[in-house]
Structure 1
Amino acid sequence: MDKLVDGWFSESDCLWQGQKMSYQVDRVLYRDRSAFQDVLVFHHLRYGNVLALDDIVQCTEMDEFAYQEMMVHVPLLCYDPSSSGLQVLVIGGGDGGVVREIVKHGHVAQCTLCEIDSTVIDVSKRFFPLMAVGLKSEKLTIHIGDGFDFLKSHIEQFDVIITDCSDEKGPGEFLFNEPYFELVKNSLKPNGIHVTHDNGPMLEMSESFPRLRFSQNVFPSSQYYYISSPSYPSGELGFVISGKSPNMKFDFPLKELSDNEVRSMKLRYYNSQVHKAAFVLPQFTKERLPTNKL
C-alpha cells in the first residue's frame, strides 16, 4: 500500500528488477487488505478503473478484453464446436472476465470458478461490472477456496482448465510450479486442455520460460503464444497452452468464426486470423523456446 506517491501508482521492482511502470491516479476508489493480499482500485483517465493486487496491476477497463478473449477462445475453439457438454474450470479469475468469455460458447455446459479471495469477486462486481457480468451466468458455479485443494478432489472432471491467477507472489505463488501442473493434468479429461499466462517474448529474453518448461515436463503437448496489451510490462503478454493428448496442435482453430459470429459474441480482440497469428513468434523467441521433455 506504499506505492501511491504524489498522485501516482508505481508498479516497481515487484517482478522486474530495475523497471517501473507508473499510472497517474485520478482518484482512489477502493483500498484495503483482504485476508490474502492488498487490494487497490483506482481510476485512470485513459485506462479507466484499474485493479492492483499486492501492488501489481491485474487488469484495466481499457485493455482487459485482450487478455480475457485470448485466454478463453483459443482453447475453446480447439474443441469441435459441434460437441456439447464441455466442463470448464477457472482457477483464480475472481474479476469475472474469463468467465464472461467462457459462457459465450454454446458447447460449454458448466463453468466452475475456484477463487481463493472473495474480496476480488466483491470488488469486481462493484468497480468492474462489464467484467463481472459473467459471474451472473446460470452456467457458473463459484467455489471460494484454494485451487490446490480443489484440484486434488476433482480427478479427470474437466475438458478445459484455465489458470487465471495473480502473479507469482501472494496467494498465487504456488500456481507457478511443477506440482501444480501435475494436479491440473490429473484433473483434466483424456483430451483436456490447460491454459495459463506467461511472460511476453521481450521479457523472456532474460528468462527461461519457466511455465512453458513446467508444462512440457508434465504434458505431452505444449505451445506458446502471445498478445499485445499495453498495461502489461513491455506491452506484451504470453500464454502457455497444453494438452493431455500427444501431438495436439493449438495454432489453428477447429472452427473459424465468421464476421457475424465475432460481432454477435461482442469480441474486440479475438478472431480466427488473430488466433493463428498469435502463435507466429519472433525469431529470437523461436530459437530460445525449450523443447518437450516427454
Structure 2
Amino acid sequence: MLSPSLVGVGLFLVAPIFFILLASLTDWNLISPPRFVGLDNYAHILGDPGFRRSILVTAAFSLMAIPAAVTAGLLIAVALNRKLPGSGVFQVLYVLPWVCAPLTLGIVWKWLLDPSNGLVNALVGDRVEWMSDASLALPTVAFVYVWQNVGYISLFFLAGLQAIPQSVVEAAKLDGAGPVRLLTRIRLPMLRPTTFFVLVTSFISSFQAFDLVYGLTGGNPGYPGGTTDVVAAQIYRTAFGAPNRIGRASAMAVVLLVFVVAATLIQQRHFSKRTVYERE
C-alpha cells in the first residue's frame, strides 16, 4: 500500500541527495564527462570569501525574518482564535500570499517598491531606494518574506491554540489570569510542539530562499553590493553561470544541508529539554 509513495520519495527526494553527494566529488560542466576530484570542491568553497559571505547574509536574513514572522503569526493566531465575525475571511486573506509563487510575489513587490512610480513610496510621500540602498535591501527582502509566510505560520499556531483544552483556560481564568498571563503561562507552554515545528520549517525555508530574492532584485540576486547574495543564489550562479560548475555548486548544497541539519538538531535538543504539558 505504501509502495507508490515510497517510489515517489525515493525518486524525487532520496535519489537526488545521493546524486548531489556524488556530483560534489567531481568537476562537471554539464557537457564534458564528470571528472573525479575528491574533496577539492569542498576545499575551494570553504576558502571562498563569496560563499562564506553568502552564508552570513543568509544567517542575517534568517535572524531578521524568522523572529518577526513567528511573533506576528502567533499574534494573528491569538486574534483569530477569538472567533470574531469575519475571522474566516481573514484566515483566507492571510494564507493567500503563501500559496502564491514566490517569484511572482517578488516581481509584484519590486513594482510596489519602485523608487519613482511605486505605490509604497507614494504612500510614504518620499523617494526611498528600498532595493538600491545597501542598508535597506536585505531588511526589505526580510519584510516581504515575513508578509508572505505569516499566514502559513498563523494557521499552525491557530490549530495549536484550538487543541488546548478549554477546561484548562477556564480554570486559569477562575484563578484570576488575564489575557497576558493566559498567553505566557498557559498557551505558550502548551504550544511548544507547534513552536518547534514552525521554527524548524521557517529556518529551513529561509535558508532555501531564492525565488523571492530573484524577483525583488530583478534577476540579480546580490544587488546591491552583495547585500542580498543569499546562499541559494550563490549555488544557482555557480551551477548555471559561465562557466557551469555543477560539482562545486553541489558541494555548496551539501555544506548547506549539513548546516541546516545541525541547526535543526540543536533546536530539537533545546525543545526536548523543556516541559511538555499533557492536554488530557
Q: Shorter-normalised TM-score: what interval?
A: under 0.3
TM-score normalised to structure 2 length: 0.25
Pick the structure with greater CA Rg: 2
Higher helix share: 2
TM-score (norm 1): 0.24
Higher strand share: 1
Q: Which of the pair has the greater relative contact order for Cα pairs under 8 Å at 6+ separation?
A: 2
